[in-house]
Structure 1
Amino acid sequence: MIILTGPPGSGKSVQGQLLAARRGWRWLSTGQLLRDQKEPAVMAELAAGRMIDDDLVNRVMERALHDAQDIERLVIDGFPRHLAQAEWLLATLPKHGREIKCVVVFDVSEDVIAQRLALRGRADDKPDIIRSRIADYRSQTEPIIDFYKQNGLSVCRLPAGGSIDDVYGRLQEIIERGC
């Protein structure tokens, strides 16, 4: 199992979907799993760009891990987003017979993020919400990288500012060398 992490608009979902399509991996996107819940309160929080309650996110992820127990290769996109979720994930994975092989951190400039999100056109891709989500990433998600390292996980940085195919090529290299 690998984890793709990075700021909004860094290309995690696009690359996760490519791994699923081209390599037969199962792509688990926390954002998509939450949107699929179609609960009005969750949809409102997502539209406002706010983080969702840990208990709900963990329950959704627990169900997704259970449903994917027969799938050999998983790529998780957008989870965990802060330390409590990372701690929960590391504690939960053994009961699913899983371990994290690699954490890939997508590095991309804020200018590129703004351009990509403007093109994506999702309801939560408004400039003020984008700024808030980037700030949340910097304050809550980036610190998890040290937690991963302290727990002996392999962490690799991926320059993610190029074209989809260029980024995918670099991601493939990281995966092939085992991060």
Structure 2
Amino acid sequence: MRIVLVGPPGAGKGTQAAFLAKNLSIPHISTGDLFRANISQGTELGRRAKVFMDAGDLVPDEITIGMAKDRMEQPDAVNGFLLDGFPRNVSQAAALDTMLQESGMKLDAVLDLEVEEDEVVKRIAGRRTCRNDGKHVFHVTYAPPKAEGVCDICGGELYLRDDDSEATVRNRLDVYHSQTEPIIDFYKAQGLLVTIPALGEVHEITKRAMEALKK
């Protein structure tokens, strides 16, 4: 299957992508992984992307599209893939359509993980990260530490990262609404959109998505 996963920040796309890709035996292709791989390997696209990333700017569509094209042409993606974070706007979605048509392929489904905006803010702004090890992450509501402000694993101080603050989250949501959300209508018009309520346990959401894909 060839699937695109969309949804606002904090909807759990990365988590669901990993589970769905494993269940469907297809590679999970995320924009973040594409950038990291191309930069670490020193590819031409990676070098060009790094200039924009170092300046804090968005990577232009043509670079992102080029990276995605290269990745989708790898042998492990012959029988399908799950795209996470790409396309991020309508021009990228149109470019993806053209790319697939030229290869005699097409998308099977676009999964839209639906979450209320206030829930997104609650999920992200409630995160607390350990200063000693950024992989140690807790949540004031969903996964609180045993002692407030203290990491259960190493005893480090837990803090709210700047990019997890409510103001930053709401700004990211504004960007999502203006840039990415229009692709939902783009794919709805093609009859590809499948909307999945993304509230509940991780395995419940995965089950909903798998059942929707079977239909």
Normalised TM-score (structure 2): 0.71
Q: Does 1:83 align with 2:87?
A: no
The 8 Å contact of residues 7 and 134 in structure 1, kept in 2 or not, is answered as yes
Q: Pick the structure with more helix per residue.
A: 1
Over the residues paired in the alignment, what is the CA RMSD in angstroms?
A: 2.4
2:117 match: 110
Normalised TM-score (structure 1): 0.83
Structure 2 alignment gaps of length 5 or more: 40-46, 135-160
Greater relative contact order, per chain length (Cα 8 Å cut-off, separation 6+): 1
Deviation per CA, 1:112-160: give whole Å up to 9, x if none.
323433548587843243222211111111111222233x232111100
Local SS of the residue matching 1:56: helix
Local SS of the residue matching 2:87: coil
2:138 match: none
Distance of 2:128 and 2:180 partners within structure 1: 22
- Within the candidate set 199, 206, 210, 1:168 is matched to 206
Deviation per CA, 1:33-89: give whole Å up to 9, x if none.
1233335435446xx5x6421111111111111114753121111111111111111
2:194 match: 156
Q: Segments of 4+ in structure 1 off by > 4 A?
A: 120-124
Percent identity of paired positions between Structure 1 and Structure 2: 32
Distance of 1:22 and 1:11 partners within structure 2: 17
Larger radius of gyration: 2
The 8 Å contact of residues 83 and 144 in structure 1, kept in 2 or not, is answered as yes
Q: Which moved more, 1:103-112 or 1:163-172?
A: 103-112
